[in-house]
Chain A
Amino acid sequence: MSASETTVGGGRARPGAGDRGGLLGGLMLAPAIVYIIALVGVPFVLAIALSVSNATVGAPGIHGFVGLANFASALHNAAFGFALRNSIIVTLATLIVTIVLAVGESELLAHHFRGKWIWQILIILPWAMPVSLAAVNWLWLLDSQFSPVDWILRQVHLLGPGTLWGPANHMYYYGREWLGLGSITAINVWRLLPLATIIVLAGRTSIPHDIYEQAQVDGAGFFRVLLRITVPALGPILIVVTMFTALMVFGDMTLVAITTHGGPGYTTQLLPYWAFVQGIEGGALSQGAAVALFMFPILLAAAIFALRLAFRSANQ
């Protein structure tokens, strides 16, 4: 600041902390850094320490160093195999269904039609619903005895003695391996679709309209425009949606804890819930930490891959 400016401004015109970029930047970043260290960094380091110890819930101190024994025993547990397989299956299935539906919905909402606002509200509704309410809702919808879905299936003669999915009168959604995984996937899609749709819709509306008119004049039909223009142009946005959806699904233990509890047997077990069952409910804190850490390289690899893709397409 020059002397002439101080006279023009009058009063307080000396450079303050706000004028020193480095200091101000540091101050503004500090809360985020403290937050990340306290809630991500410390637990992460703690988890690594726990995973190579013999700590239990009864004796949580990190004393005995046992090397990779916890990892070895986790690998040998039959439940771990199921949990790893199911986590990957549920994540991939949720991803595919969510992205297909989100692109479809955003394509719908990018156009103008009568009653569009009702659709918009319906699409956003699951997101606004409290988790506890949603859990009760889904427990009832897919209940083993009183499921209204089963009732509808019976009414249209798809379920019950002598029908396609008979002879039982119930589907037992949370009591069978693939129906259980399917149910968890369906609920995941239900709760993640609103945000995914909003993100994709934001990307969709930022694609210049004249490109679509140009494609029309060039002779392209609806599906060609969708697959050759819309989806490639959405590229970076879809990577973001993929990343956040994958992380939300892969790291989530609440759904399986509310619905199937990993059963029957371990057939619908998922990694995060298995870590919880082992470490907290089973009391083997170190085992739980080891299982949880198995997820880390997978998530890290996925995140790095997605970010690299995003940066590459952004730089082109």
Chain B
Amino acid sequence: MATLELRRIEKHYGGVHAVDGIDLQIADGEFLAILGPSGCGKSTTMRMIAGLEPPTHGDILIGGEVVTHLPPRLRNVSMVFQSYALYPHMSVAENIAFPLRVRHVARAAREQKVAWAAGLMGIEKLLQRRPARLSGGEKQKVALARALVRDPTLFVFDEPLSSLDAKVRAMARSELRLLHDRTGITTVYVTHDQIEALGMGDRIAIMEAGRVRQVGTPQELYAHPADTFVASFLGTPPMNLMEREDHIVGFRPEFVHVATGAGGDDGALRIPAKIFELEFLGADWQVYAHVGDGDDTHRILARMDADEVKQLRVGETAELAVRRDHLRYFDKATGRRIEHVGV
């Protein structure tokens, strides 16, 4: 178990800066999710942590030691690939035992460790099978057991759930998090799925275009996005962003309500909007509305419960409101968050 630190890490491919100066500190036993759209450099970052690619600039420290130029086998980092990368010609037991074989662990100790890892993942019955005869979920468990078996100092996951179907995925999420809590191994989890990042990460680092946009707990990121990218990336649907004279105002769809009363000076944002469509989502409704007119039209989304939606009619204009403490402001030029703006 160890801390992980990235210091001004850069990776250039020709003239392209895939990773463009990343600083990250991950505490011992922490579960950090790196979240970002495809091509943001998150996979490259992870490959540099595992030692599969050398960084162009910067340093990587594991447990306080500089490992920047060490090959993977000297880092004791366990990695689970998106495809699980099981060795096709080996049985499940041989797959799990491989990292131990490489380290010349004696046979008795090896078998004991394999049994332990298989037990932890609940795959004792699969040990004699070949990977070709496993389901996606089973493959994932074998890959995890193989990653676990050698007591790594660091776990690195590359979108390990993306090849599972939706039903299995929810289950696998909680199992993975449970596994982390039980072993306490420092974990870096790369994903483009915000549900995974929000649900599993102690903290999330949001990446875009080779840079980290914001690092924080899922709650911090959701409630206080550092810039318009994070605001529009996190949340389904994401934060509504409306341009005003000198800044951008943002608010989450679930905080939009139908205005009540005459509207005093409570500082709430009042939005006269034309209701465009009402969409039933089961637990609640999604409201599509247009604000403004002519060239200056914004589309905003709102989440409302059934009672509130009853007050709305498609095609009619309604007065919507967002409470003052739910409003977030961003600089128009930089997109960075700014503190309160006088209304």
Q: Which residues of A contact B (CB under 8 A)?
A: 208, 210-211, 213-221, 224, 228-229, 232-233, 235, 313, 316
Q: Are B146 and A218 in contact, CB atoms less than 8 angstroms apart?
A: yes
Closest 8 CB pairs of A and B: A219-B73, A214-B85, A210-B85, A218-B99, A232-B89, A219-B102, A217-B79, A216-B72
Given pairs A208-B85, A213-B52, 18 additional interface contacts (CB within 8 A): A214-B85, A215-B87, A216-B51, A216-B73, A217-B50, A217-B51, A217-B52, A217-B79, A218-B150, A219-B73, A219-B99, A219-B103, A220-B73, A221-B102, A224-B102, A233-B88, A316-B89, A316-B132
| Chain B contacts with A in 73-89, Cβ cutoff 8 A | 73, 77-79, 81-83, 85, 87-89
Determine if B71 is an interface residue (Cβ-Cβ < 8 Å). yes
Categorize the interface residue count of chain B.
Answer: 20 to 34
**Chain A positions within 8 Å of B87 at CB level:** 211, 214-215, 229, 233
**Chain B positions within 8 Å of A229 at CB level:** 87
**Chain B positions within 8 Å of A220 at CB level:** 73, 98, 102
Can you sample 10 A-B contacts with CB below 8 Å?
A208-B83, A213-B79, A216-B73, A217-B52, A217-B78, A218-B73, A218-B102, A219-B72, A221-B73, A229-B87
**Chain B positions within 8 Å of A215 at CB level:** 87, 98
Determine if B130 is an interface residue (Cβ-Cβ < 8 Å). yes
Give the shortest distance, in Å, between A235 (CB) and chain B (any CB): 7
Q: Are B85 and A233 in contact, CB atoms less than 8 angstroms apart?
A: no
Give the shortest distance, in Å, between B329 (CB) and chain A (any CB): 44
Q: Are B85 and A211 in contact, CB atoms less than 8 angstroms apart?
A: yes
Q: Which of A217, A221, A229 has the most CB of B within 10 A?
A: A217
Partner of B81, one of A214, A219, A235, A316: A214
- Provided the pairs A216-B52, A218-B146, A316-B130 are in contact, do residues A210 and B73 lie with their beta carbons within 8 angstroms? no
**Chain B positions within 8 Å of A235 at CB level:** 89
**Chain B positions within 8 Å of A211 at CB level:** 85, 87-88
CA distance A217 to B81 in the complex (A): 11
**Chain A positions within 8 Å of B71 at CB level:** 216
**Chain B positions within 8 Å of A213 at CB level:** 52, 79, 81, 85
Partner of A214, one of B79, B132, B150: B79
Give the shortest distance, in Å, between A212 (CB) and chain B (any CB): 9
CA distance A197 to B50 in the complex (A): 33
Q: Are A233 and B89 in contact, CB atoms less than 8 angstroms apart?
A: yes
CA distance A214 to B79 in the complex (A): 7
Q: Are B81 and A218 in contact, CB atoms less than 8 angstroms apart?
A: no
Q: Are B72 and A217 in contact, CB atoms less than 8 angstroms apart?
A: yes
**Chain A positions within 8 Å of B89 at CB level:** 232-233, 235, 313, 316
**Chain B positions within 8 Å of A316 at CB level:** 89, 130, 132
**Chain A positions within 8 Å of B72 at CB level:** 216-217, 219
**Chain B positions within 8 Å of A208 at CB level:** 83, 85
CA distance A218 to B149 in the complex (A): 10
**Chain A positions within 8 Å of B83 at CB level:** 208, 210
CA distance A216 to B87 in the complex (A): 13
